[in-house]
Amino acid sequence: MHVDLSVMEQIVQGTSLKAMGSTAIAFSIGRDYHSKCHINIDMFYTLAIVVARDTGLPDDEIIHYFLFPTYGKHGTKVPLQSGDTLLFNPSIPHSCLNLKTKGCFIMSAYVSKKTVLNSNKL
């Protein structure tokens, strides 16, 4: 990942884009978000952070599941609690579930390949 990070930093420096931190150029927030299985055409890893709607939940309450159906024999399900951060390769099929906890947020920082490729036209 260290090699990938240095390559991504070089790519962002060669464009007119402004990055958050050293790599992410886009940020999205979803409330009560869930998604079908998909891939994203991004240039680097995606950072996902989940936050509960209030502090009244038990510390071990699972508020989101990230699913990777092609990992392992039966896929992989990653439980996420409030404050957890997940770094993953967005080109691998994934989905996100929020089954029972209403009002929770998921935030993603990412680098869209489409944005980077079009940035030289600015």
**In-domain check, residue 66:** yes
Distances (CA, A) of 12 to 24, 29, 87, 91: 9, 22, 19, 19
**In-domain check, residue 35:** yes
**In-domain check, residue 40:** yes
For the stretch 38-92, pLDDT in tens is 998 877 788 888 988 776 777 788 989 999 999 888 999 999 998 899 989 888 9
d(CA 50, CA 85): 7
Number of independent structural domains in the chain = 1
CATH number of the domain that residue 41 is part of: 2.60.120.10
Check if the beta carbon of residue 64 is closer than 8 Å to that of residue 98.
yes
**In-domain check, residue 15:** no
d(CA 99, CA 102): 8
Give the pLDDT score at 77: 94
Give the distance between the most distant pair of CA atoms in the chain. 49
Q: Which residue, chain included where needed, has tokens 């978000």?
A: 33
H-only helix segments in the chain? 2-13, 113-118
Question: Structural domain of residue 67, as residue ranges?
Answer: 26-109
- pLDDT category of residue 122 using cuts at 50, 70 and 90: very low
Check if the beta carbon of residue 34 is closer than 8 Å to that of residue 101.
no
**In-domain check, residue 30:** yes
Query: Residues 101-110: what's their mean pLDDT?
Result: 85
**In-domain check, residue 84:** yes
Q: Give me the DSSP letters along 13-45.
A: HTSS---BTTTB-EEEEEES--EEEE---BSS-
For the stretch 6-53, pLDDT in tens is 555 655 555 555 555 555 567 788 888 889 999 988 777 888 889 887
> Is the pTM for the entire model greater than 0.75?
no
Strand, helix or coil for residue 62: strand
**In-domain check, residue 87:** yes
**In-domain check, residue 49:** yes
